[in-house]
Every structure is written in structure tokens, then in C-alpha cells.
Structure 1
Amino acid sequence: MQNKKKILCLHGNGANKEFHSYQLRQFEKEFNDIEFVTIDGPISITRNVHASQVVIPQNFAKMIENKPLFTWGNFFKLDNNNIDAVFQESLDYVIKILKEQGPFYGVLGFSQGSAVAARLATLIEDKQIDLGYEINCFIFSSGSMMTLPNKRLIFCQIPSIHFIGINDFLYDRSLGLSTQFLNPLVILHDQGHKVPFLSRQQIQLLKQFFNKGKNGWLQQIFVPKL
């Protein structure tokens, strides 16, 4: 039996791996040759300070009721707008998992998790870290444009998929993130701030993306469609 490709999945703020797995249930069903590995963020948070109520539909709230919740950013460490300090613990944690449990085919991030994934992509592009293998793609849902230390700009030449909600409060920042990657595959949807439920056409597009690999990605120009 052929081993499945593994994609490491990073949940949003104030959630956990179980809830993220639920968000990805369509992906797990449709892409049976891919293992979506969900993990908890390294920073636990108390219920009275989490912000997940803003982005988690009310009918899903029961799924995380009385369950441990996690985040990726420690904003107590924010110093002179150095966003790296906020996410450094999480970056170290994710890099450790990628090295110890890899190889991983790709990394997927939702909302705050996409911030960690995006910073990881720039570190790989800038050759600041070496995982010992190549990440084939990054997947962002409700992502945000990256702000790097000293206002540096890094253009990532790594295949990427961007799920962007036209009704998402992060719409502009998600579009901005897509411009920081070469030839991004942008999939627009009207479902707001969430991991979207995909149409059959969108699923087929993703299957083609995964099956063609990096060489196919270099030969095809992607045009966003709703």
C-alpha cells in the first residue's frame, strides 16, 4: 500500500485539533491519498480570553465546549511591533514536528494558523531553516499578508493555494498574502471566515494541482474564479 502524502494542519485562534479536523472533513473525504495531520497549538488559553467566538459558528460551539483551547501567538512578547517574537514559540514547535514526523508534503493553515504557515514559508524561501526535505506546497485559508521584521519583503517561489472569502473580514489581507507567492492558486468563495465547503469543480482543480506536482505548477498560470 502506497504511503499517503502528509499535510500538517494548523488551526485558528482559540480552537483545537479536533475542531480543525471537523473543519477539514470534506478534504479528508475527497482526498483519500492525503493524510491531514492536525495538531494543537503550543499555547493553551483560558476560555475567558479566547477570541474563537468571533469566527466559530454558534452551532459548532458545542464541539469545543469544555475542551482545551489553544493559540499560536503569545502577544505578551510583542516588542516594538516585532511579530516574530509573538510566534517564535509556535514556529519552533512546528519546525520540530516537521523534522521529527516528516516528510510532509505540505502545510495548511487557517486564520491565525496561516500566519505561522506563511512565516514558515518565508523562512524556507530565505534558507533560514533546513527541514532535510522539500515542502511541496502551502495552503492558506483566511490568511493574512505577512509583515516581516525591518519591513523586509520576501517573494516565495513555493506552490501555494489560497482560499479567500469575499465576505471575510480578512479578505484584503488574504489577497495581499497571495501576491507574496509566485503563481498562487486562488480559490474565491462566499462563505466568510471559514475553511470553505468546495464545489466539485474546485475539488477537481485541487486534485489536478496535487497530482501535477511542482513541474505542473510551473507550467500553468492560475486565474482566480468564484
Structure 2
Amino acid sequence: MENQIQKKPRILCLHGFRTSAEILKKLVLRWPETVLDKLDLNFLDAPYPARGKSDVEGIFDPPYHEWFQANEDFTKYTNFEECLAYIEDYMIENGPFDGFLGFSQGAILCAALPGMQLHGVGLTKLPKIKFLILVSGAKFGGSKFGLPKLAANAFASPIDCPSLHFIGETDFLKEEGIALLGSFVEPVVIHHPRGHTVPKLDEKSMETMLEFIERIQKVTSHE
């Protein structure tokens, strides 16, 4: 029983556009040990090699990957269905996982997963997603990103899945991140002064994060 209560939430971490699992890992591992010790983090590379220049060239080493592709105004998507199948296969082979952590393109994808799962169009062979941690997220069907066909109903009803959202003061996706909050039931928010990145945690945000982890530990250990 003791072990069950202390079970670390197992999290699949999805990196940003044209970056990599290794890059996201470097950013997340800057968080304090008090947070990291409570989580079982698994970092996955997206299935497709970057099809163009990466914004992190010269900062982080390649190779760079992307989860799916879109046209310039984000109205048409390709490889979206294949991307979901890739994630699902990985989770079946390496799971079980309790929830997701996503950054940027990874967070946009993660935000839509509970709704797609609910409507039976994504991750259908897996148990229900128990929580999300979204850093620099946005919403498919919002002002910037169109809806992939499979995600057409992802936000049709409020998403009743514990969610923690990081919103950066100078992030170019800030407005999108704020708009995304409206799709979730009781979202928890950490505001930070940085831009489009995984921020380090100050005392206040660490407290918020630890409270959220405590909440998801209860959800994951009642099985």
C-alpha cells in the first residue's frame, strides 16, 4: 500500500517543433530536485526529421524532429494521424503512462489528446489520460492554428483532465496559451517572465507545481 501511495506519476514528454527529446530533457532537468524526484519523466523524439531550419540551431545540437507538418497558415496538416499512431504504439510498448508533458508543438498536440481520446479518434487502445503539463501551449482551432480533421471535436466540451499550464510573459504564444485555458475545467496556471521556453521555477511556481504533483499522485495511485 505504501508503495502505491508513493508511486511516481509516469509522464511522456513531447518536445517542441524542430527540436528533440534531448533538448527538452536539458530544459526540464533545470527544475529543482524536489520536483524532479517526484516524477518519472520519459522523453520521446518525434517521428519526422525537421523539414527546414530549426530555431534552436547554434544553441542546441541536432538532430531535430517534428511531430507533424502544416501549411503556412496552419489550415492543412499532414502526417497527423501517423503521429498519433506513433505515440500510441510507443505508449503500448513502453507504458503504462499516466499523463503528458508537452512543450510548444508538443503541448499543442498534448492539449488535444484527452478530447480526441474521449471521442474515440486518438489513443483509443490506451487508458484514459490522467493529467497534462503544458508549457507554451496553444489550441487547435484557436486564432493561430486550424483544426486537424481528427481533432475536430477535441475541444467540443470542456476537458475535465487536471492540467498545469505555463504561460510566458514574452512568449509569442502567450495569447494562445491564455485562450487554451478556457477549454479546461479548473486549469492550474504558472505565469513566468520568460519567453518561449521551459522556464526555471522560482519559489512561487515551485509551490504551485508541487501542489499539482500532489494532486496527480492521488489520481495515479488510486488504481
Taking structure 1 as the reference length, the TM-score comes to 0.79
SS of residue matched to 1:145 = coil
The yes-or-no answer on 1:126 pairing with 2:123 is no
In terms of fraction of residues, the more helix-rich structure is: 1
Cα distance, 1:201 vs structure 2: 2.2
Q: Where does structure 2 lack aligned partners over 5 or more consecutive residues?
A: 142-146
| Conserved 8 A contact 2:17-2:105 | yes
Which residue of structure 1 lines up, in the alignment, with residue 161 of structure 2?
A: 158
The yes-or-no answer on 1:213 pairing with 2:220 is no
Which residue of structure 2 lines up, in the alignment, with residue 177 of structure 1?
A: 180
Pairing of 1:57-76 with structure 2 (within 5 A) = 61-64=58-61, 67-75=62-70
Q: Where does structure 1 lack aligned partners over 5 or more consecutive residues?
A: 217-226
Q: Please point out which of 102, 114, 128 is paired with 2:107.
A: 114
Which residue of structure 2 lines up, in the alignment, with residue 26 of structure 1?
A: 30
After superposition, the Cα gap between the structure-2 partners of 1:178 and 1:167, relative to the gap in structure 1 and judged at 3 Å, is same
- Taking CA–CA contacts closer than 8 Å with sequence separation of 6 or more, which of the two structures ends up with the larger relative contact order? 2
Q: Distance in 1 between matches of 2:218 and 2:204?
A: 22
Cα distance, 1:117 vs structure 2: 0.9
Cα distance, 1:114 vs structure 2: 1.1
| Residue type of the alignment partner of 2:115 | T
Which residue of structure 1 lines up, in the alignment, with residue 136 of structure 2?
A: 142
The yes-or-no answer on 1:193 pairing with 2:196 is yes
SS of residue matched to 1:181 = coil
Pairing of 1:10-89 with structure 2 (within 5 A) = 10-27=14-31, 29=33, 30-45=35-50, 49-50=52-53, 52-53=54-55, 56=56, 61-64=58-61, 67-75=62-70, 81-83=75-77, 85-89=78-82
After superposition, the Cα gap between the structure-2 partners of 1:199 and 1:28, relative to the gap in structure 1 and judged at 3 Å, is closer
Which residue of structure 1 lines up, in the alignment, with residue 144 of structure 2?
A: none
Cα distance, 1:126 vs structure 2: 2.4
Indicate the RMSD between aligned Cα atoms, in angstroms.
Answer: 2.6
Q: Distance in 1 between matches of 2:216 and 2:7?
A: 16
Q: Which runs of 4+ in 1 moved over 4 A?
A: none
Which residue of structure 2 lines up, in the alignment, with residue 168 of structure 1?
A: 171
| Residue type of the alignment partner of 1:192 | G
After superposition, the Cα gap between the structure-2 partners of 1:69 and 1:142, relative to the gap in structure 1 and judged at 3 Å, is same
Cα distance, 1:88 vs structure 2: 2.0
Taking structure 2 as the reference length, the TM-score comes to 0.80
Write out per-residue CA displacement over residues 106-162 of structure 1, whole angstroms, 9 at most, x where no aligned residue. 101111111221221221232434344232211111111222349643421111111
Provide the aligned length of Structure 1 versus Structure 2. Answer: 203
After superposition, the Cα gap between the structure-2 partners of 1:75 and 1:172, relative to the gap in structure 1 and judged at 3 Å, is same
Q: Distance in 2 between matches of 1:72 and 1:32?
A: 28
Cα distance, 1:213 vs structure 2: 3.2
Which residue of structure 1 lines up, in the alignment, with residue 8 of structure 2?
A: 4
Which residue of structure 2 lines up, in the alignment, with residue 102 of structure 1?
A: 95
The percentage of aligned residue pairs carrying the same residue is 28
